[in-house]
Amino acid sequence: MSRKIKTEISGRGLPLFLQRAIGTMAMLMMGCMLISVPGATSLSDDDGAVDDKANISTIEKLQLNIFINYDEHTQPTVGGQPTNISLGLSVNYIDIDELDGKITLHCWLNARWKDESHIWNASEYDNITKVHMSGHKLWKPQITLFNSAVEEGNFLVSTQLILSSDGSVLWVTPAVYTAYCSLNMRNWPYDEQTCKLKIGTWSMNHIDAVYNKENHELNYENVVESTEWEILSGLTKFVHKDIYNYIEFTFRVKRRSSMYTAVIYTPAICIVILALSTFWLPPQMGEKILLNGILIVLISAFLMYFAQLLPVLAENTPLIVVFYSASLLLLSLSMIIEVVVLYLATAQHKRRLPDFLKNLLNGKLGTWLFLSYFSNESESMTARNGNGIIKELDDHVYENADEPINPLDINSEVPSARALQYDWVLLATAVDRICFLGFGLVFAVLCIVYGV
């Protein structure tokens, strides 16, 4: 009887398919019981969390702690006071557009402020005192250029920030500022200009933010030397307005003018020399008018060049432009005078030169004008011809003669028509010499006044 019971319990007497079914059900019941045991799965999860926490670096722990419940759009305060911001500029390149009256600076802008919500004990984090943070994770001021000359504004690139353990924040970002500048072109191209950059933020008034009055830096030691401009000095100034505060950076710059000296001033000196040399050419030479005409065209070309290069509505007209304009007027007057001189020297005159003019030309005035080598008597030239008349006088007087005259022939007599012509040539030469002195004095005054 007992053997029969054991056989039934062990299932040996059951069919094979029933034994397999009972075994499968038993395994399913044991799996369900294991899953229902409290803490069975949470234990494995806790083990993974411990491993992950152990793998977190010290910097990540620091960031997790200091950014708990932090809103990057909320402006930080120190002791309930407005945020104190310090600004600095490091200039790399500077350029001035004279036509538009704008100054452009390529620079590095650095801003400093303090955030009490991001202070930590460095000893608790492996002595980490500084952390580099992404620009969108921390609050930063919306700094812009108040006197910007571009429509899209001068907004800054969102670069990384440096956060220190005492809560101070440093933001260094590249910037290209273009501002309006009132230019004084009076001494161009040896001019010095003073331009200002007014940097602040429109989003915060003086109640929200205060710009430090002293801790503002301006560095221009690394400016590219190949530019046209040289920075002579730079100043920073805190400006307090009724609503907004800003920092005013003032630059005093000087133009490097070596190229302009060769391109503008050297031709000006050559024009003066050539203009004066026309008065020493023989009075009957038509080339004098041709030379003056060439100089007038040359000066007109320079004035057109200045019109393309310089602003039309400048505060003051450059002195060199005034010099070229005055030279154009003088050369135009010289052209008229040379036409008169050419007429006096070449026309067939039928009237004698007035006696008072002959006396002046043969007196001290003639000596001062270096006319003493000309003969002042037109009735008889024999004795003077015997003493020798220079080739220049021979050209002046005898080129219009009807018959060939040998000035070295002592027995020859100059006809009255020739003597008459000679006096007028002498007068034309005197006019040239007087104009040389007058124009030379005027050009000297222009060169001194306008710095040529």
Run of H or E residues at 367? helix 364-368
Whether residues 40 and 28 share a domain: the answer is: yes
Q: Span 350-371, mean pLDDT? A: 71
Domain assignment present for 56: no
* 34 and 125 co-located in one domain: no
CA dihedral 428, 430, 431, 434 (to 10 degrees): 160
**Strand, coil or helix: 252:** strand
What is the distance between the alpha carbons of residues 313 and 450, in angstroms, rounded to a whole number? 20
d(CA 219, CA 221) in angstroms, rounded, equals: 6
Please tell me the distance from the alpha carbon of residue 165 to that of residue 131, in angstroms, as a whole number.
8
Q: pLDDT tens for residues 268-318? A: 999 999 999 999 888 888 899 999 999 999 999 999 999 888 887 656 888
Residue 40 is predicted with a pLDDT of 38
CATH number at residue 171: 2.70.170.10
pLDDT of residue 104: 92
pLDDT of residue 297: 96
Range of the domain at 32: 2-49
Please give the tally of structural domains in the chain.
3
Backbone angles phi, psi at 133, to 5 degrees: -120, 150
pLDDT at 374: 56
Q: Are residues 239 and 313 in the same domain?
A: no
> For tokens 């960031």, what's the residue?
63
CA-based diameter of the chain, in Å? 191
In a domain, 402, yes or no: yes
Helix pair 355-362, 416-449: axis angle to 10 deg: 60
Same domain? For 197 and 320 the reply is: no
Q: Which residue has the tokens 């040529």?
A: 452
**217-219/83-97 β-pairing:** parallel
Give the closest residue to 159 by CA, choosing from 130, 134, 131, 132: 134
- State which H helix or E strand residue 93 sits in: strand 83-97
CB 165 within 8 Å of CB 116: no
CB 341 within 8 A of CB 428: yes
CB 393 within 8 A of CB 373: yes
Q: Are residues 149 and 188 in the same domain?
A: yes
Q: List for the chain the helix, strand, coil content (%; round to 5).
A: 45, 20, 35
Over residues 127-158, the pLDDT tens digits come to: 888 888 887 888 888 888 888 888 766 667 77
Which domain-ending residue is among 233, 256, 279?
256
In this model, does residue 56 exceed pLDDT 70?
no
Query: If we measure between CA atoms, which residue out of 88, 123, 100 comes closest to residue 310?
Result: 100
How many Å from the N-terminal Cα to the C-terminal Cα in the chain? 142
Judgement on whether residues 358 and 393 belong to the same structural domain of the protein: yes
Read off the tokens for 26.
């038993």
Backbone angles phi, psi at 390, to 5 degrees: -65, 160
Q: What is the mean pLDDT of the chain?
A: 75
Residues 405/385, Cβ–Cβ less than 8 Å:
no
Q: Which tokens sit at 167?
A: 């809560």
Top-confidence range, 41-55, 233-247, 375-389: 233-247
Closest CA to 131 of 158, 172, 169: 169
Are 96 and 25 members of one domain?
Answer: no
pLDDT-derived band at 18 (thresholds 50, 70, 90) equals low
Query: Ranked by mean pLDDT, which of 27-36, 76-85, 133-142, 348-357 comes out on top?
Result: 133-142
- Does 262 fall in a domain? yes
User: pLDDT per residue over 177-193, tens digit each?
Assistant: 999 998 888 888 888 99
pLDDT at 30: 54
Cα torsion angle, 237, 239, 245, 250, sign: negative
Tell whether 244 and 262 lie within a shared domain.
no
Q: What is the signed CA dihedral for 345, 349, 352, 356, rounded to 10 degrees?
A: -40
Residue 3: which pLDDT band, with cuts at 50, 70 and 90? very low
Give the chain's length: 452
For the whole prediction, is pTM greater than 0.85?
no
Same domain, 336 and 419: yes
Q: What tokens does 188 get?
A: 């161009």
Q: Which of 111, 181, 180 is nearest to 143 (CA)?
A: 111
Stretch (H or E) spanning 429: helix 416-449
Beta bridge partners of 113: 169
The reply to whether 14 falls in a domain is yes
Provide the β-strand partners of residue 85.
211
pLDDT in tens, 153-174: 666 777 888 988 888 899 999 9
